[in-house]
Each structure stands twice: as structure tokens, then as C-alpha cells.
Structure 1
Amino acid sequence: MLYAANIHARDVADEWAIRAENWLAELEELQKPRRLRERNSNSLILAGHGNSLRVEKGALIIKHGFTHYPQKQECRRYFKGDLELPRIIVLLDGSGSLSFDVLDWLAEQSIALARIKASGDVAIVASGDGFAADQTKIDWQRETLACPKRRMAFVQDLIAGKLRNSIATLSGHLPQTVDTDAAIARAERGIAELGRPLDDLQQVRAIEGECASLYFRAWRHLRPQWKISKRYPVPDSWLTYRGRSSVHECKPENRRATDPINAMLNYGYAVIHSKLQVIAIADGYSPLLGIMHRQKRTSVSYILDMLEPERPRVDAAILDFVQSRTFTGADFILRKDGACRLSPQLARVVAQLV
């Protein structure tokens, strides 16, 4: 019995390793080639356990974490001013270490560092450009927030942009069905409604909410392709897309994804959130002065504003990815609380997509 159990455990580990290597190969294909004299535009995505960043003889040494066995640890060496330097380094969950020297080195080379939790939440973003506050832009944020008319105009334009991008995603990245047509029609009406004067923010939220409901209803026809395995069984709830909200939340929220598609969306949104925060800070805006979103004082509310029209673009990338791949249970981790998490190498691929 013990021998049989060992054989089964080895087979399971082998399948995990094969899937990890497959995603690693795909990650390489997603890398955009760098043109001569052009700075590398790809993000560096780190995952797994044992990530290490240190400065040695003036160079940055990065060792990737381990995600499966057997695996040869990948090591990169970057010199100052190297055109191969990434503009942002994203740490996806996992574990590891870095030193104060590394933070100084990254700041000197204008490289941002972002840490994203396994849940898809952004833990921290450290911009290599620092906070280059532009008083004119911060005054614009404050004045727009303080003036109800200007605030409404900003919010209406923001959500109208989101709806326009939603139409592009619905028409170009989903099968055309009755639900898709209904979602597009409602989004078009929503854009027209947002083009007229409205009294308060709740009206905008109501229009956005109705459009979002029909938008994700059109996703119900998604049927991800699965390679069914006894070693890695797949829950029935993963075979179709049931909606954006988590089935384990009392409120219609999606912070704790319970299916693969929502887990991928959370990661995608988190990566874009990190990049937008880096850009906003570098451009001189305050990430705390949100205009549509007004949450806790410590919340980067302005980044949530900027994220709204970008969400449908992330959706489009995830939709194309889901509909062109065959997954296995080894690509995901089902936690004891029912939450779904991506395997480390799949998470790297999803992060690179956006």
C-alpha cells in the first residue's frame, strides 16, 4: 500500500511539473522582442518560493523562486543602464528576500516593484520614479472632487469610456448570442444616457450596474476546455462561467474568486492596477485623491478611477486566453475555504498577458 501511494504521489508531482514547464514555455513566447536601442517593455514576473534579489558588485542579481520539482533555478544579472532592464518587477505571492540595497538600485534605475497576493489583491507598489508631485495636477484632482458639476462630468466620461471598451470586448472576444446582443444594446443606451446631464453619482452607478449585469451574463456561454484527470479532478462549477461574484460571499463581491476565470481576472486587474499606479505617481498625480472612488484615506482611490476603462481590455485578454487553451486541474489550487488560486507558473503567464 505504501509503495502504491508513493507511485501515485510521484505521478501527481510529474503532472504538476509538466504543466509548469508548459506554462513556462508559453511565457517565453509572450515576451515582446526588444528593438535596437529600445528599453525592454516586458515586465519581469517572479513567482514561487525562494525568490532572491540582491546587489553584487554593482549588478542586480535575481533568482527566480521554485514552483515545481524538478526545476532548475533561473538566474538573471542586470547591469546599470542595461536596455534589458524591465520597467516593473511583479512579485506574485510566493516567498523570498531582498535588501535595502536592492530598493536603492531599483529607484536609481527607475524600476517599479509590485507585490500581488495570491488572492489577486495588490499588497504594495514601490515606484522607481518616486512621488514626483505636480501641484497643478493635484490641484486639478482636488478642484474636480470639490465641484459637483465637474465631478459628475468626469465620472460620466469615465464610465462612458468603460462602456465603449465593453462593447469592443463583447463584439470581438465572445461568441455572438442573444445575451451578447442584449449587453451591447444596453451599453450603447448607457453611453447615450451618460451623454446627458445627470443629477447625482447614484444614477451613474445604476447605469453602470445594469450594463455590468448584462455584460457578465453574456459570459455564461463560456465553456473552458478541460483535460479531465483522476489525479486532478475538476469541480463541476468550473466547467461553465456562472458570474463575476464569488459564490461564497454574502455580498455580490469578487474578492475571493471561487472559479478559474474569476481568479485570472483578479490577477489581471491587479497587474494593471500596479502599472497604473506607477504611471500616475510618475506623472505627478496623487493616487489617494480619487474622484469617482472615495474610500479609506489609505486607499489609492484615484488608481481605481483610472482602472475602470481598463477592465474591459483586461477582460478581452483573459477571454482570448481562456478560449484558446485546454486546462487541467493541475493548473489551479482549490483551497479549503473554496477559493480558487492559479498555479504559480500559470499566474506568471496571466500577469504577462496584460
Structure 2
Amino acid sequence: MAATQTVPQQPQHCNFASILPRHGVVTLFGYGIKVHVDRGHLTLQDGIGVVRREVRLPRVGHALQRLVVIGSDGMVSLGALRWLADQDAAFVMLDRDGKVLLTTVPVRPSDARLRRSQALAESTGASLQLTRELIAQKLSGQEKVAQDKLKRLDIADCISSFRSQVDVAKGTPTIRRCESLGAKAYWSAWRDIPVAFPRRELPRVPHHWKVFGTRESPLTNSPRLAVNPANAILNYLYAILEAEARLAAATLGLDPGLGVLHLDSRTRDSLACDLMEPVRPLVDSYLLDWLTRGPLKREWFFEQRDGNCRLMGPFAQTIAETALSWRRAVAPYAERAARIFWANAKSASNHLSPATRLTQSYRRMARGKEPVPSVPEVPHAPRLCKLCGTFIRGHQKVCSVCAPTNSKEALIKAAHKGRIASQTPKVLARLAEKQRSHQIAQRNWNPADQPDWLREAAFDEKIRPRLADVTVSTIALTLGVSLPYASDIRAGRRRPHPRHWLTLARLAAVSSDA
């Protein structure tokens, strides 16, 4: 027997919005993610509920270099992976907490001798050499951030001292210690950095979200599971960087799991973590510029019941668009690691060296260009109105709707500060001294010294009209009066003391013959 319909069901229609590669990256999030090939086109679908997105990318002109999937609800076909490999595009899968789950890169020819020398790096000395170079570069970057952006010269000097110790370190444990102490000093300078939100959203923002705080989460006693937006963004940026470092190592034929600085672990790729180290200050600088330039939106984040702060899907998509910038930043260090491993290999040929697939350095040098291309600018973070949170363009801080309110508040604040500044003992003492000097000058002035032609009528008819050609600052400086008083004299709102008339006549080029 068929069940009767007791609740009317409304048909649901999915409105598909388009997905376009931004900065060479497409990010999929939500539920029911689908990645498959249909008639030679790569078809991508994602979304939540009836809000879906879809795109069909042809094999030519798609501009796709990275496909990032956030979450694990959906399907990816083998044909789609083959399509990405044919187009030299990488596939990255991230968990919703930012953990790197999977990376794939097109398979390239590799040399087993390079991986063998990587495995023997500890005994050949390559491990110490590479560790020293990576950590020295990282500490130099942290020193620059502390000095130029955080304006903490004391922290920069402290990091510089650890940087000098790395150059003479005899072993990897000493370098690890210098890196740890340098990081402790570095992150202490970040503790009180404010994190702004639009004024209208402040009632919904937890108090501990309004500062950067510490890198150590109270949930894990480590950077994992951040409890505020700033650290959550940084963790996600690091996850993107880790994926790019893993892809870079695999592209060069290295084993991403055999590290030199980070110890072997089944839960991470140690070499990828090693290659991340010198690029971390660039990521930190990007986040710091974002935090100091404008506010964040409350809707970009959500808080779990244990206090863990997570990024919403659309905002995580914006973060993922920086992937290619970190790829270009980590590429020189990955190739440097390959050269160090190769140079210490016993069977390495003198006339051969690992291919520079990431930077194309050999090809660039053959064309007379710089061997390593400059790191491109990271995509700009979205700018928001500091009052309502609306997206704005240019260098404005408020939108056109909030501009009048912001201007009014700025004038009120400036007036309040001016009133406070005008009542300080120092200012009042200067004002009293100025008034006494004017009173003395008036008492010492003799009306008999005034020319006979210089009377009130002459001042009003001859001198005052010509003062329009004299600047207010010139009048104030010549008479020794304030700028507002000089402006009133020039505009005719006030008549100065007769002792000033002759001086004003000279400024206006008025004589008895005029």
C-alpha cells in the first residue's frame, strides 16, 4: 500500500553558479563534491544544499594549475586525475581543519641516485648543510618582519644573535635549539597585535578573537586547533604552503617524507616541513599586512563547541588562491636541497645535476636572465569597510554609505583632542605669556606716532580690501597673532588694534598717496 503524502513537498531546484579559476586555483568545498570528465571537459561541482556551483573546463585555455578540495564528501574519478595530469595541474585535498590529506602531481622521470643520497644525507654531511641554510634563511626573514613590520628592534636583535649562532653550529640539535629560541622571541612580538572586525559585528565577536594571542592553542598546547581567527588563518596558510612544499619535492624526484631537520614521523612529510621553514616569514608578513590593513568579517569563521575556530568554505577558498605564490617561493629551496643531496652523492657525475623543473633556472640562464625568478606578489586580501563590513575597492577605509558617519566621528574626536590639548599647563602658560606681551605692547604704544592719514576710515576703505592679496600666515607671522585671528582680520570680521594698522598698510602696499 502506498503511503499517503501528509506534508506537501516543494520541488527543489539547484541554481548553479559558475566556478572560475582565480590566480590559477580552483577551490571546491561543501558536500556532494564531484570531479569527473564529461566529453573531454573537466566538470567540477560543489556547494551546500541547493546552493551549488558548477563549471566545465576545456583542455585548452582553462588556466587551471591547482585544484584544491576542502573536505571529504564527494567523488573524484580516475579520468579526472588523468585529465589533471595531462594538463600538468596538481590536485590537493585538505581536511576541514586544514590538515593536508592528499597531493598528486604529474609523474616525472626521477633519478634513484638522488633519493639514495637523500637517505644518506645524515652520514654525508648534506643534512647539516641544508639544515643550516634553511634555518638561517628563516631566522633572517623573521628578523626582517620583526624589524620592518612589527617595529620591535629588540626582538630583531635577539633573532639576529640566534642567526649568527646557526652559522657556526656543529650539529643539527644546536640548530634546532636556535630555531626554537628564535621562534619563541619572534612570536612574543605578535601577542598584542589587534585583530579588527567591523563595528556592527563587534557584539558577536568573542573577546579573545580581537587579538592575535599566542601560537599555542589551549586545546592542544600546540599551534593545532587554533581558537581565534588570526591563528586559524595562519594555520590554513601553512597548510597550503605544506602542500606546495610536498608537491615541489615530488616534482624534483625527492622523497617528501625523508627530512633533515624534522624527525621522521608517520603523520607528516618531514622534508616538506623542512622546505616550508624559510618561506614561513613570507606567509607571516602576508597575514600581518592583512590584519593591519583592514577588518575581518565575522561570517568568515565559526566556533565549535570546544572553542576551536574554523574557516568557512568561501573564505577558505580565498586563502587557497595564494597557493601559486607559495609554490614559487618554495621552489628555489627545493631545488637547492636537490643540489645539496646530489653534490654529496658518491655516484654523482660532475657534469650532471638535478633538473630545475620548478624555476627553470638552467633555461633562464641560457637566455641570459636571472637564474631564479622573483617571487610574485601575493593576491591582495579583500578590503572591508571598518564600520559595516561591506567590500570596498581602492585604499578607502569606509564605504560610501558610512563615509559621512566616519567623517563626523573623526571631526568630533579631533575636536575633543584639540580641547584637551589646549588646556594643558604648558599651553595655558604660553597663552598667558602671549597675552601679557600684547598688553605691554598696547600700553607702550603712543597714538601720536600714528600718521595723520591713518584713521579708521582709511583702514576700512584702503587697507582692508587689499589684505585679500596677503596670506593669512603672513599676517599672523608679521603681527604675532594666531591664525584664526589673522583670518578674521583678512576677512574683515575683526578690526585689529590701531598699533597694527601701519604694519598692515605696508603689507597691503598702501601709503598716504594711495
* TM norm structure 1: 0.79
Give 2:184's aligned residue. Answer: 213
Q: Following superposition of structure 1 onto structure 2, how do residues 142-153 of structure 1 map, counting pairs within 5 Å? A: 142-147=119-124, 149-153=125-129
Q: Decide whether aligned partners of structure 1 residues 132 and 316 sit closer, same or farther in structure 2, where only a CA change above 3 A counts.
A: farther
Counterpart contact for 1:88–1:113, Cα < 8 Å: yes
2:53 is the alignment partner of 1:74: yes
Q: What is the letter of the counterpart of residue 161 of structure 2?
A: R
Q: Decide whether aligned partners of structure 1 residues 345 and 60 sit closer, same or farther in structure 2, where only a CA change above 3 A counts.
A: same
Larger Rg: 2
Q: What is the letter of the counterpart of residue 157 of structure 2?
A: A
Deviation at 1:103, TM superposition (A): 1.6
Q: Distance in 2 between matches of 1:294 and 1:316?
A: 27
Q: Distance in 1 between matches of 2:218 and 2:200?
A: 25
Alignment root-mean-square deviation, CA: 2.5
Higher RCO (CA < 8 A, seq sep 6+):
1
Same amino acid, percent of matched pairs: 25
**Alignment equivalent of 2:282, drawn from 290, 294, 313:** 313
Counterpart contact for 2:176–2:261, Cα < 8 Å: no
Deviation at 1:137, TM superposition (A): 2.2
SS state at 1:65 partner: strand
Q: Distance in 2 between matches of 1:315 and 1:231?
A: 25
Give 1:60's aligned residue. Answer: 42
CA deviation string 1:137-161 (max 9, x = no partner): 21331232233x4322221221001
Q: What is the letter of the counterpart of residue 86 of structure 1?
A: L
Q: Decide whether aligned partners of structure 1 residues 181 and 348 sit closer, same or farther in structure 2, where only a CA change above 3 A counts.
A: same
Q: Distance in 1 between matches of 2:34 and 2:126?
A: 47
Q: Decide whether aligned partners of structure 1 residues 187 and 209 sit closer, same or farther in structure 2, where only a CA change above 3 A counts.
A: same
Q: Decide whether aligned partners of structure 1 residues 99 and 321 sit closer, same or farther in structure 2, where only a CA change above 3 A counts.
A: same
2:65 is the alignment partner of 1:87: yes
Deviation at 1:63, TM superposition (A): 2.1
Q: Distance in 2 between matches of 1:230 and 1:112?
A: 38
SS state at 1:125 partner: strand
**Alignment equivalent of 2:166, drawn from 182, 185, 194:** 194
**Alignment equivalent of 1:236, drawn from 207, 211, 227:** 207
Q: Decide whether aligned partners of structure 1 residues 83 and 279 sit closer, same or farther in structure 2, where only a CA change above 3 A counts.
A: farther
**Range that drifts further, 163-172 or 313-322:** 163-172
Q: Distance in 2 between matches of 1:231 and 1:158?
A: 41
Give 2:111's aligned residue. Answer: 134
Q: Decide whether aligned partners of structure 1 residues 258 and 297 sit closer, same or farther in structure 2, where only a CA change above 3 A counts.
A: closer
Q: Distance in 2 between matches of 1:274 and 1:328?
A: 26
Counterpart contact for 2:258–2:264, Cα < 8 Å: no
SS state at 1:225 partner: coil
Counterpart contact for 2:91–2:104, Cα < 8 Å: yes
Counterpart contact for 1:258–1:339, Cα < 8 Å: yes
Give 1:347's aligned residue. Answer: 316
Q: Distance in 1 between matches of 2:322 and 2:281?
A: 14
CA deviation string 1:116-140 (max 9, x = no partner): 112111111121x126432232133
CA deviation string 1:236-281 (max 9, x = no partner): 11111211110222x3x11111111111111101111111211211
Q: Distance in 2 between matches of 1:132 and 1:215?
A: 41
SS state at 1:216 partner: helix
2:142 is the alignment partner of 1:166: yes
Q: Distance in 1 between matches of 2:110 and 2:266?
A: 18
Q: Distance in 1 between matches of 2:73 and 2:289?
A: 30
Deviation at 1:165, TM superposition (A): 1.6
**Alignment equivalent of 2:26, drawn from 44, 49, 54:** 44
Q: Decide whether aligned partners of structure 1 residues 197 and 345 sit closer, same or farther in structure 2, where only a CA change above 3 A counts.
A: same
Q: Distance in 1 between matches of 2:64 and 2:22?
A: 11
Matched residues, number: 306
Q: Distance in 2 between matches of 1:268 and 1:236?
A: 23
* TM norm structure 2: 0.56
2:70 is the alignment partner of 1:101: no
Q: What is the letter of the counterpart of residue 279 of structure 2?
A: E
Q: Following superposition of structure 1 onto structure 2, how do residues 264-279 of structure 1 map, counting pairs within 5 Å? A: 264-279=233-248
Q: Distance in 1 between matches of 2:175 and 2:255?
A: 24
CA deviation string 1:185-234 (max 9, x = no partner): 12211221111142x32221221111111111111231111125579711
Deviation at 1:297, TM superposition (A): 4.7
Q: Distance in 2 between matches of 1:116 and 1:186?
A: 36
**Range that drifts further, 50-59 or 94-103:** 94-103
Deviation at 1:341, TM superposition (A): 0.2
Q: Distance in 1 between matches of 2:267 and 2:130?
A: 22
Counterpart contact for 2:29–2:313, Cα < 8 Å: yes
Q: Decide whether aligned partners of structure 1 residues 220 and 90 sit closer, same or farther in structure 2, where only a CA change above 3 A counts.
A: same
SS state at 2:31 partner: coil
SS state at 2:75 partner: strand
**Range that drifts further, 186-195 or 263-272:** 186-195
What stretches of structure 2 of length at least 5 have no aligned partner? 1-16, 324-514
Counterpart contact for 2:145–2:285, Cα < 8 Å: yes
CA deviation string 1:285-333 (max 9, x = no partner): 1112111122225632111111111111111111112222322322211
Give 2:250's aligned residue. Answer: 281
2:133 is the alignment partner of 1:157: yes
Deviation at 1:74, TM superposition (A): 3.3
Give 2:217's aligned residue. Answer: 246
